[in-house]
Amino acid sequence: MPERVILTLNSGSSSLKFALFTASLQPKRLWSGEIDRIGLTGGHFQLSDARSTVVVDESGRLDSHEAALTRLLMAIASLPGSLDLVAVGHRVVHGGPECDCPKDVTPALLARLRRLAHLAPLHMPPNLAGIDAVLATRPEVPQVACFDTSFHHDLPSLARMTALPRAYAKDGIRRYGFHGLSYEYIMEALRDDGVDVDAERIIVAHLGNGASMAAIRNGNPVETSMGFSTIAGLPMGTRTGDVDPGILLFLMQEKGMSSDEMATLLYEQSGLLGMSGLSRNMEDLLDSPKEAAAETVAYFCYQARLHLARLTGALGGLDRVVFTGGIGENSDEIRSRICVGLGYLGVNIDSVANKSGWTKISKPDSRVIVEARATDEEKMIARHVAVKFLAKPMPQASEVEA
């Protein structure tokens, strides 16, 4: 009897992260990996098993996401055992105001998402390319879009608003929030560990190449550092974070920058990369002896500290901080430098626990619990797909083809 599996895809502009899970309410990761440099020279495909043992490690150019997915499906077909791919789940960064939960991929949904692509230009085109690639290679397999914005869909009305004239809200101009799949996973992990999240005021800091924070009270998000777009809030790998709108007007009016040039500046040339002139990678900057690198790290931590403190205003206090994402989970130095000076909020880091990689990194007598946790957006996607299909039996591939 073939084992029924769910494939999760997280498509980037030149990459395809993937994982295979058992099709169950508690999905078990079986295989995972990444194909990078799609459409570029030096392409690389790596596939690992559940124990992180690499079983495929090859180089070679793949010209499109469709070609990358075709190669991935060939690899899946050659895996030991018999696997029946019953559904594919996608991380989709922006769902717009209508998408408050995962949705079946339909022509109508795809058309709506294509209209939203300009709101997250780094993410939406490759997200949609992943969906198109599955349609081209395995059109019989059901697909589900899982949105980063869904977690924040029911933010309080004041948190959704902007100070633009109200008429613009009819065009979908509102604050959305992102990294929702990561926040969902962290909240579930806290519940699984016995934390009464409904009784706590929590800030989750998802810090990576993309970075944001969310304030959560009574188990629900009440505020976030990101807003209408994925360039708002904290400085990121190549994105500005918050910037005075007057600067943008100056660049357009006085420097003659076009909208396309402005988008490139804000999304691709700023943040850690632009400030340092060296790298978008925090680890590179921490290792660099250059003053610009040190100043960039200091600026990132300063802004993160300001955003964290700001979010306590929406919560009315603070009981727990959770760091996650590539930087938040792995960099004890960044966690320490963000938290320094927040003692007035009850945040006190235990340096030994922080450097040792423990989950709880606050001092025993700290009023606020501080943690570092791994997130797992792929597992969250697999859970959403499994739950969605439990209401109706997952079709066997042979049944669909028939």
DSSP string, 54-118: EEEEEE----SHHHHHHHHHHHHHTSSS-EEEEEEEEEES--TTT-SS-EE--HHHHHHHHHHGG
Type of residue numbered 231: I
Cα separation, 320 vs 14, whole angstroms: 36
Helix or strand run (H / E) with residue 339? helix 332-339
Cα separation, 1 vs 288, whole angstroms: 54
- Answer yes or no: 148 catalytic: yes
Give how far Cα 134 sits from Cα of 9, 33, 117, 305, 374, Å. Answer: 10, 17, 19, 41, 29
Cα separation, 184 vs 168, whole angstroms: 30
3-class SS at 152? Answer: helix
Cα separation, 357 vs 41, whole angstroms: 37
Contact call for residues 102 and 144 (beta carbons, < 8 A): yes
**Which residues touch 111 (CB under 8 Å, ≥6 apart)?**
none
Cα separation, 227 vs 225, whole angstroms: 7
Type of residue numbered 228: F
Q: Which phi-psi region, left, alpha or beta, contains residue 110 (left: φ > 0; alpha: ψ -120 to 50)?
A: alpha
**Which residues touch 387 (CB under 8 Å, ≥6 apart)?**
25
One of 36, 49, 132, 148 is an active-site residue; which one?
Answer: 148
Residue numbers annotated as active site: 148
